[in-house]
Amino acid sequence: MNDAPRPAGPAASRKATAQAEFARIAGEDGRAALITVIEGGSLGAKLFVSADGGTAGGLGSAELDRVAVEAAEELMWAERSEQRSVGDATLFVDVTAPAPRLVVFGAVDYAAALCRLARAAGWRPFVCDPRSQFATAERFPEAEEVIAAWPADAFARIGGIDRATYIAVLTHDPKLDDAALELALHSEAPYVGAMGSRRAQAQRRERLLADGLEEELLDRIAAPIGLDLGALTPEETALSIMAEVVAVRNDRSGGRLSEAGGRIHEVGA
């Protein structure tokens, strides 16, 4: 009697490959999804989906794979895991993702306060400013990186702008503001905020329109930046900005919870 283990079949091999790829990306603090059939269909089958759309494994049917990829694409950028029902099958979409990035343009006092608050909230803050005398690591110890470069080079340095990159422009220098905003508004960034009075915002809008930006792009700018908290100090202003950023990330309006409906403060027992 031969008790040696038999080689794994194709399905088991695909499942192992998918699981291994997901573990590798998670270990690298990357972004990916692992979809598992937990009811019906090919029970236990797994499909790995990377942030660039690459796949490994399979769920037993081309249609199920297609729907799973769509769910993975949605949830890996929403940065949450959940179950999905597809016909007679139930899938679990397990997501791994790095902390979201907050890219702050302008090495000013407000940026330092914003970095501290962003870091405390679990975000990765970056500070960018071409003025090297101000853009120093010593001034922004909470920043993931301080980049002394113009916006195009700064964005290239962090690997570009993706759907988990939130952008706050805090300078009052049109050359820097406009360059950062033009790049940000043509990107997939879900949030582009800019500091300044309503008069400054109107002047900025006129400049950007004159440079050829479309009205619908300019409507993406959250300006004046932040929620209406009556903020006065850099710390309070940072709280106002961070509150708006978190609200946008969670698809909320940022209003008072006492006036809101639905689920709030979802904390496990």
* Domain coordinates in residue numbering, the chain: 13-96, 101-249
pLDDT single digits (tens) 56-77: 999 999 999 999 999 999 999 9
Sheet holding 46-50, edge to edge: 55-58, 46-50, 32-39, 89-96, 82-86
For the question of whether the overall pTM of this predicted structure is more than 0.75, the answer is yes
Tokens 């903020």 map to which residue?
231
Q: How many CA atoms lie within 13 A of 240 on its CB side?
A: 21
Q: Are 141 and 165 in contact (CB under 8 A)?
A: no
CATH number for the segment(s) 101-249: 3.40.50.720
> CA 119 to CA 125: how far, in whole Å?
7
> CA 150 to CA 136: how far, in whole Å?
15
**Which pair of structure tokens corresponds to residue 6?**
């038999």
Please say if the pLDDT value at position 116 is more than 60: yes
Sheet holding 101-105, edge to edge: 145-147, 124-128, 101-105, 165-169, 191-194, 221-222
Provide the pLDDT for residue 261.
Answer: 66
**Which pair of structure tokens corresponds to residue 166?**
């939130």
∠ CA(106), CA(187), CA(67), 5° rounding? 135
Please say if the pLDDT value at position 217 is more than 50: yes
Average pLDDT over residues 109-135: 96
- Percentage, residues of the chain above pLDDT 90: 77
Provide the pLDDT for residue 239.
Answer: 97
